Structure 1
């Protein structure tokens, strides 16, 4: 089973929001490579829920992909902060996924802690200049991260 990491700013959508709701829509991705990773996912795939752009960035829990990709409705909503002037109802290059809650970690596994784990030396998240909001995670990386919780 492929694994993934997906980033969200916790004041926008956090692991605790997903826990409270049980499921939600992952939308607003506006990078083509990240979008392609969203397309590559399959229903049932697990992802690390990463809190970004906050006081303590890090892995906060685990979610599950619930469906096939579908056109991201925020791209065509002029009131949305994720509105895309290039997207129309007929031609929307952006996609969303429905996700569900699996687990919230007692403590966020901080970026500092992730950098200390030898098995993560090639982890894309930790590479200089890596800013993708969606990325694949190898089985070895997944096991190393989940073992830290």
Structure 2
């Protein structure tokens, strides 16, 4: 009986109890359970040894030879004579001579000195104050 009681007590310890948690903890536990369930169904992780893996044979890579390098050849040297330009000789005309006549001045009359102005001080009554007589 003692053994049955020990087995039942051990079984009660393995039975999960109601978890008192908030909604965030419930969401985290749900996502964790989904992840473990997904691994069990797909055969990944520690559960991968049960299902035999398929044999994958990779095809040989396609090797394409590169094209040959281009051949560079210097272009042929072409020498052409200069073009012939036929043009008449330019007409060169001498400029017209510039003729500038000297200015013509009217001759200045030369009067003889007035005899009364030869003397100093305008003597004999020919003074400037008598020019305008009223």
Q: TM-score, normalised by structure 2?
A: 0.15
Q: TM-score, normalised by structure 1?
A: 0.14
Greater relative contact order: 1 or 2 (C-alpha under 8 angstroms, separation 6 or more)?
A: 1
- Structure number with higher strand proportion: 1
